Structure 1
Amino acid sequence: MSENSHTAEDLGQLQRRVIRAQDAQIQRIVALVDALPARGDADRLLAPLRPRLAQLRPARPLRFCRLLFRPLDPLIVPAPKWRPTSFTFPRTLLEPLAASVREAMNPDIRAAVDAVIAQRTTHDAEAVRKAGTMLWPAAAETLCAGISLRAWRTTGLPISKHSGLARAAGAVILHGVALHEIAEASRDRRDPDERQIETLLQKAATHGPETVSRILAVLLDSMPHAGAMVLALAGAGFREDLLHGHVSSETSRGIGGRIYAARQERRWTQRALADAVGVSRSAIAQWETDRALGLPENLTRLATALGTSVDWLVHGNKARALTEAASQEELSILELYRRCSTYDRRVVRDMMQRLAGRMRHPETYRSEE
């Protein structure tokens, strides 16, 4: 067995032991890792702990890279889990991108940021706000304008993804101050400022539907109890722009069946639906076979003609999660679910699936009692 194999095996054993650690032990491990001058495999050791760290929120040194990407925190994933079609950012991108931003920054701003964050931690909300107010707008301008990335090969990503990821990160970081203020209000159990959130979403929309999606994900992560309100403020226009931006040959799968079902329910021919939407009959035939050509720009008219919503056409019943919750009890359950770790969420889903199965097969339920 090679030395690399031994190293991987040893790391795997350490990861399994760390996963079973108590909260206090995890906080000590994180403190030790943060104190290392070069982290290397230590970061890989922390990888399986990320969901628990998100819950524990231990104080971490407020370093330049951590501050820069704080607005993106809920969107950062391990590199193996990142997909080009997702709204997330691979963790391996952070350090080289931060180094490039730091190098391109105005030296006076860089020095001022360094002075504020020196000897501070992520729990120092005022230091985060003060330094972030200087850093985030300047960094966003650099990222959105395009930036040459140092040490790109260390990210393990194709060079073709560089500029797109940098601009996508900049479009969210630009709103870092507002996102920080909203998150702090939520942690302090203050009522969310609906006007501030609405303004934020309007500004995000100028960067396109993908930025709106990312901003919504960050907001829902920071204030899970206000999910219905956030999506309501996003409004039908934002949601439809978002959906239009994601209807492709991949995401259109399943839409065709829903178009067909809604048309049959109305007892319309393809020609009748085509006339109602203002397109050719062949367009309806293509859409019903999950071909997306011309579909995004006609979604709203199509939904109106069929007497349904854009959300339902694109996502089916899955689109009803927050805005159509039947009761406050459902929202309360959702809030508790969002507080769970990734592992615990899987346990909850498995349990609910078993319970739902019992309701479909009551004889099974009785036999287990």
Structure 2
Amino acid sequence: MTSPNPARARISIIGAGPGGLTCARILQRNGIPVTVYDRDAGPDVRNQGGTLDLHADNGQIALREAGLLEEFFELARPEGQEMRQMDPAGTITSHEVPEPDELFKPEIDRGQLRDLLLDSLLPGTVRWGHGLERVDGPARGARQLHFTDGTTVETDLVIGADGAFSRVRPAVSPAVPEYTGVSFLEAWFSDVDNRHPDIARLVGQGGAHAADGERGMFAQRNSGNHIRVYVIQRVQADWMSGSGLKRDDTHGIRALLLERYAHWSPLMRRMITDNDGPYVDRPILALPVPHAWEPSPTVTLLGDAAHLMPPLGVGVNLAMLDACELALALANATTVDDAVRAYEKTMLPRSAEMAQVLEGGAEHLLATEAPDFGDGDHRR
């Protein structure tokens, strides 16, 4: 089979997250048809997660190419770049406050970013309720997408933008995510200035981190007067069931955490006791380092599907940069095969280098020195 010209190819993106939607937007701006498939029944069926910061040297580059940078700045929160480092007593040990005109990595809620990208696409671009089951077909021929509802679609290029547990990845790589030994337990706080004023003052307008070498916390203000707190522990992957607890046992989990954080100050422990609603267990996973695959003219990956790393400031930014570079490669190449090879020639070495830097980096989340939590993208 001769690889088709991108403008005449059937291009399918799996996953309507920031990476997949950015790729679709830039393809459409360059006159290339594309369809995005997502397992969710619609754009509003679940919470999209916390806040992200988009960096000037990657995420913002992608938004500029998408023609959405000014709209992003209208939504973004530059004050969210504030970062506080505290000790377990709640004493601030370092404090970074952004300049009034600082725009290197302003914050935006993940849901707001997704809506910005969705609204920029042609109607009908995203096919909701299409959970991918598997990819079939020869490496150099038309691929078949098999969805969980029993339907199939034939396509010339499959772009896996479907995250840590990608259903596209097995078509090019046997790699699977591995547990890093560190886990987040997410807690939500709503209407914080009125209902949780002490925590609101403690966290400030951006993020606040504290750790004692064995356990930690990271709190981050979101828009709408919300704060998300991530309780960070070095634990076994099955730590909850191993302690005789279920995920919906908020009282039991809270009691266990209070034991483990007993030497932390009462104010800091309120980020364990005062949350609104249940905890959300988020074990930190990573793909093997380095992660690469033999080139295929019909399948490629971007973002966490290609290079899942600990959440230390690279996740959504690299995904959007991947998406931008892949879309531009398709716009400028004669064939899909040429575009995929050009994209992977840059993306794979870059992601391998970054993954090597961050390998084992989940341990930094427990360090008393402030790690770079970067994009705050803890949705694994």
TM > 0.5 fold call: no
**Going by fraction, where is strand more abundant, 1 or 2?**
2
Category of TM-score, reference length = shorter chain = under 0.3
Larger Rg: 1
